[in-house]
Each structure stands twice: as C-alpha cells, then as structure tokens.
Amino acid sequence: MKKFKYLSIPYIVWLFILVVIPLLAMVVLSFMDSDALDLSTAKFSLENWKSLFNTVYLNAFWNSFKIAGISTIVCILIGYPLSYIISTSHLKNKFALIMVLILPMWSNQLLRIIAWEKIFYPISIINNIGLSFDLIGTDFAVIFATVTMYLPFMILPTYTVLEKMDKSYVEASYDLGVSRTRTFFKITLPMSSKGIMSGIIMVFLPASTGFAITERLGGGKIVMIGNIIENFFKRSFNYNMGSMLSLVVIMVIMGAIVLLSKFDKEGETII
C-alpha cells in the first residue's frame, strides 16, 4: 500500500492553498493595523494581541467555553448511555432507530432555532395548548437548545464505535466473574473512548464558535467569542482583531485536543 503515497499529493496542495495560506495571512494580519485587506496602508502593531486580555474578550471566551462545555457534558451524559443502550439491545431495527435520532439534523438549523424561540418566549403559538415559558436570555435556554441541536453528533460516533467493538472482551470478562459495572468501566468505556472523543469535538467546536443560537435564544444578551469574531469580520471589517481572536480559538482548541489525545494512544482521532 505504500506506493499510494502519491495519491495524497493533490490533497496536500489543496490544503496548502486553502488552509496554510489563509492561516499565514491571519497570522500576518493579527500583527498589523490595516484597513481590511488593503495592505498598502498597513502598519505593524502589537495592539491587537495586547488587547486580548480585555475583560470583554475574556468574558466572551468564558461564556463560550462555559456554554459549550456544559452542553458537551450533557450531550455525553445523554448521548453515550443512549448509544450504549441501543447497541447492547437486541432490537432488530437498531440502525433505523439511529437514523431516526440523526434525522433532525437535516432540518434546517435556523428553522429549528425559530421553533425554540416559539417555545421559550412567554407569548407564542404554544399558548394555544396552554403552555408558556419565559426563558429567553437565560443560559438554560441556550444550553438546552445547543444540546438538542448537537446531540446527534454525539450519538453517531459513540454508537458506531460501540457497535463495532469486539464484544468477546466483554463476554470474557463476564465469564471470569467480573461484575457488569466493573466490566463497563474497565473494558467497555476505555474501548469506546475514541467515539466519545469524536463526539466531544463534533459538539464542542461548533457550540463554542457559533453565534446564531446565542443571538436568538440568548436574547442577544450573552456575548460569545463567535459573536465578537463575527462583528469584527462583518461589521467593522477589522480583519486584524478578527484574525487574532480566531487564531486564539484555534490554539486553545488544539491545545485541548493535544491534552485529550494523551489519553488515546492510537492517535489520529476525530471520528
């Protein structure tokens, strides 16, 4: 199989053009003070990086990681057991069941957000069935909606891993008299950790960098790092600050992944 190395060359070139160059451009921009992309009037400046520790940004980072973090943990607590129950069950239609759980993902996310707005605003269409909640602007609403939006992303990888897992280890453990709980923690969980890792990444990333859910369900009151980056790129066209903050996000997340991958010896984990 080694001779197929060359198959990767086109892709490497593609990545170079679409990933490396923009990344380098962002690094350069973050150290400058320019008028959008007009480099003729640009000058070198450390002001962008210096402003990183401004309370507004730290606050936004904290909000993002808090909400994304809680959402991710909830997704694990609900998604993993769900995948476990389904994969260890004797149901004949397991895959169909999983598809049913994944299906909401193909509904447009903006429409689903509108639906959540209808549920969380006190006066809305659900009053017709006697219900009313006043939760817009609360962390709860944002986290609840984030979990429902991204839960399928946790279910899919964990189910895939659990389903493909070699059950003989588990059976051997039972045969040796080990309790179900202990087997789970010592065998099943470690063997399926890759799936959980993928799920964490698939949920945490969009949750922390997104802006649509907080904008509409947080009543515009909660400022996340995604909102701030969006404002820099789309409102004030300050590509310098936008690039700087985006780089920080990438670095933090990569750092977290490197840390987590210490728990996974096989490496190259995402899905």
Partner 1 sequence: MKKLIFLLIPAIILSCIVLLTGSTSNLYLLNWGEYIDPSLITEFEAEYNTTVIMEEVGSSEDMYQKIKSDITPYDIAIPGDYMVERMYEEDMLYKIDLTSLANYSSDMFNDDLTNLRKNGFFTDNEEYCIPYFWGAYGLLYTTRKSYVEEVVKTNNWDAILNRDVYGTNKNDVKLAMYSVPRFGTTAYLLDNNKDVNTNKVSDFAGLVTTMKATNYDLWGDDTIKKQIAAGNIDVGLTQLGDFFDQYYLSTSSNEEVQFSYYIPEKTSAFFDAMVIPKTSKNQDLAYDFIDFMLDTDNSFQNTTYVGYSPTLKSVVNKLKEDTEYTDLISNYPFYIDPLQGKDATLFRYIDEMDDGTNYQDFLQGLINQVKA
Partner 2 sequence: MKKNKITVSSILKGLFIAVVIFILYLPIIIIFVLSIDSSRTGNTFTGVTFEWYKEIFTNKSLYMSIITSFAVALSATVISAFLGTFAAIGIHALDKKAREKVILLNNIPVLNAEIVTGISVMIICSFLIPIIPDFFGYWTLLIAHVFFTMPYVILSVIPKLNELDPNLYDATTDLGVRPFKALWKIVIPSIDTGIVSGSLLAFTLSIDDFVISYFTSGNGVTNFSNWIYVRLGRRNFTPAAYAFNSLLTIVILLIVLVPQFKKNKSKKNTRSL
By the criterion CB under 8 A, which residues form the site for partner 1? 36, 55-56, 59-60, 121-124, 136-137, 215-216, 219-223, 228, 231-232, 234-238, 241
Question: Out of partner 2, partner 1, none, which partner does residue 255 contact, by CB within 5 to 8 A per kind?
Answer: none
Output the smallest distance, CB 267 to partner 1, in A: 26
Question: Out of partner 1, partner 2, none, which partner does residue 189 contact, by CB within 5 to 8 A per kind?
Answer: none
Q: Taking CB under 8 A as the criterion, which residues in 225-244 touch partner 2? A: 226, 229-230, 233-234, 242
Residue of the chain from 68, 75, 142, 156 that contacts partner 2 (CB under 8 A): 156
49 within 8 A of 37, measured Cβ to Cβ: no
Output the smallest distance, CB 47 to partner 2, in A: 21
Mention every residue, 6+ apart, whose C-beta is less than 8 A from residue 149: 109, 112, 213
122 within 8 A of 132, measured Cβ to Cβ: yes
197 within 8 A of 184, measured Cβ to Cβ: no
Q: Is 106 in the site for partner 2 (CB under 8 A)?
A: yes
Q: Is 259 in the site for partner 2 (CB under 8 A)?
A: no
* Rounded distance between C-alpha atoms, residue 104 and residue 43, angstroms: 48
32 within 8 A of 253, measured Cβ to Cβ: no
* Rounded distance between C-alpha atoms, residue 103 and residue 97, angstroms: 10
- Choices 48-56, 66-74, 184-192, 199-207; region in contact with partner 2 by CB under 8 A: 199-207
Radius of gyration, alpha carbons of the chain: 23
Residue of the chain from 175, 177, 235, 268 that contacts partner 2 (CB under 8 A): 268
